[in-house]
Amino acid sequence: MAPPLQTTETPSAAQGAALPLDAEGIYALAARSMFQLFSSISQGMFLVDQTGRIVWVNEGYERFLPRLGVASVHDFLGHKVEEVIPNTQMRRVLETGQPVLIDLLTNRAGTFVVSRLPLHDGDGVLFGAIGIVLFDQPETTLQPLISKFALLQRDLDEAKRELAAQRTRSLRASVDGARRAKYSFASFVGSSPASVEVKRQARRAAQSMSPVLLLGETGTGKELLAHAIHSASARAGGPFVSVNIAAIPEALLEAEFFGVAPGAYTGAERKPRDGKFKLADGGTLFLDEIGDMPPSLQAKLLRALQESEIEPLGSNQIVRFDVRVVAATSRDLPQMVRDGLFREDLFYRLHVLPIRVPPLRERRSDIPALVEVLGEDLALRSDMPMPELGARALELLAAQEWRGNIRELRNVLEQAAMQCDDSLIGPEVLLQVLKSSGLEPADLSAHARSAQAGASGEKASADRRLLRPLAEQIAELEGQAIRAALEVHAGNKLATAKALGISRATLYDRMAALNL
Ligand X SMILES: Nc1ncnc2c1ncn2[C@@H]1O[C@H](COP(=O)(O)OP(=O)(O)OP(=O)(O)O)[C@@H](O)[C@H]1O
Closer to ligand X at the Cβ: 188 or 402? 188
Q: From the CB of 230, what's the least distance to ligand X, in Å? A: 13
Does residue number 406 form part of the binding site for ligand X (CB under 6 A)? Answer: yes
Piece of the chain touching ligand X by CB under 6 A; list 17-25, 211-219, 348-356, 474-482: 211-219
Cα distance between residue 96 and residue 126, in whole Å: 10
List, in sequence order, the alpha helices (H) in 208-249: 222-231
Piece of the chain touching ligand X by CB under 6 A; list 32-40, 104-112, 220-228, 392-400: 220-228
β strands within 302-379, DSSP E = 309-310, 319-320, 324-329, 353-356
Q: Among 128, 131, 221, 283, which residue interacts with ligand X (rule: CB under 6 A)? A: 221
Does residue number 292 form part of the binding site for ligand X (CB under 6 A)? Answer: no
The answer to whether 56 touches 46, Cβ cutoff 8 Å, is: yes
Cα distance between residue 3 and residue 20, in whole Å: 22
Closer to ligand X at the Cβ: 301 or 355? 355
Cα distance between residue 320 and residue 420, in whole Å: 55
Helix (H, G, I), strand (E, B) or coil at 327: strand
Q: From the CB of 500, what's the least distance to ligand X, in Å? A: 40
Cα distance between residue 370 and residue 219, in whole Å: 13
Closer to ligand X at the Cβ: 95 or 401? 401
Which residues lie below 8 Å from residue 458, measured CB to CB, with a gap of 6+? none
Q: How far is CA 377 from the centre of its chain?
A: 26
Q: From the CB of 337, what's the least distance to ligand X, in Å? A: 19
Does residue number 355 form part of the binding site for ligand X (CB under 6 A)? Answer: no
Which residues lie below 8 Å from residue 104, measured CB to CB, with a gap of 6+? 111, 112, 113, 114, 138
Closer to ligand X at the Cβ: 223 or 414? 223
Closer to ligand X at the Cβ: 201 or 330? 330
Does residue number 407 form part of the binding site for ligand X (CB under 6 A)? Answer: yes
Does residue number 199 form part of the binding site for ligand X (CB under 6 A)? Answer: no
Q: From the CB of 288, what's the least distance to ligand X, in Å? A: 6
Q: Among 222, 235, 276, 324, which residue interacts with ligand X (rule: CB under 6 A)? A: 222
Q: From the CB of 244, what's the least distance to ligand X, in Å? A: 7
Q: What is the number of the residue whose Cβ is closest to ligand X?
A: 221
Beta strands 324-329; 284-288: pairing state? parallel
Q: Among 223, 254, 292, 414, which residue interacts with ligand X (rule: CB under 6 A)? A: 223
Q: From the CB of 501, what's the least distance to ligand X, in Å? A: 41
- In Å, what is the CA distance from 281 to each residue of 192, 241, 244, 285, 365? 36, 9, 18, 8, 39
Q: From the CB of 218, what's the least distance to ligand X, in Å? A: 4
Q: From the CB of 214, what's the least distance to ligand X, in Å? A: 7
CA 30-34-38 angle, to 5 degrees, is: 175
Closer to ligand X at the Cβ: 280 or 485? 280
List the beta bridge partners of residue 118: 129
Cα distance between residue 72 and residue 66, in whole Å: 8
DSSP class of residue 265? -
Which residues lie below 8 Å from residue 343, measured CB to CB, with a gap of 6+? 295, 298, 299, 302, 337
Which residues lie below 8 Å from residue 341, measured CB to CB, with a gap of 6+? 295
Piece of the chain touching ligand X by CB under 6 A; list 15-23, 153-161, 183-191, 312-320: 183-191
Piece of the chain touching ligand X by CB under 6 A; list 200-208, 222-230, 292-300, 508-516: 222-230
Cα distance between residue 214 and residue 404, in whole Å: 16
# binding residues, ligand X (CB under 6 A)? 19
Q: From the CB of 186, what's the least distance to ligand X, in Å? A: 10
Cα distance between residue 456 and residue 16, in whole Å: 130
Residue by residue, DSSP assigns 89-132 as -HHHHHHH---EEEEEEEETTEEEEEEEEEEE-TTS-EEEEEEE
Which 239-268 positions form the footprint of ligand X (CB under 6 A)?
A: none
- In Å, what is the CA distance from 400 to each residue of 198, 220, 373, 433, 458? 22, 15, 19, 13, 22
Q: From the CB of 216, what's the least distance to ligand X, in Å? A: 6
The answer to whether 272 touches 219, Cβ cutoff 8 Å, is: no
Q: From the CB of 514, what's the least distance to ligand X, in Å? A: 44
Does residue number 330 form part of the binding site for ligand X (CB under 6 A)? Answer: yes
Does residue number 189 form part of the binding site for ligand X (CB under 6 A)? Answer: yes
Closer to ligand X at the Cβ: 218 or 298? 218
Q: Among 218, 415, 423, 432, which residue interacts with ligand X (rule: CB under 6 A)? A: 218
Using CB under 6 A as the criterion, what x/- string covers residues 356-385 for binding ligand X?
Answer: --------------x--x------------
Piece of the chain touching ligand X by CB under 6 A; list 130-138, 214-222, 229-237, 473-481: 214-222
Q: From the CB of 405, what's the least distance to ligand X, in Å? A: 7
Closer to ligand X at the Cβ: 194 or 255? 194
Closer to ligand X at the Cβ: 329 or 496? 329
Cα distance between residue 220 and residue 329, in whole Å: 11
Q: Among 58, 88, 220, 242, which residue interacts with ligand X (rule: CB under 6 A)? A: 220
Closer to ligand X at the Cβ: 245 or 507? 245
User: Where do contacts with ligand X occur on this chain (CB under 6 A)?
Assistant: 188-190, 216, 218-224, 288, 328, 330, 370, 373, 406-407, 410
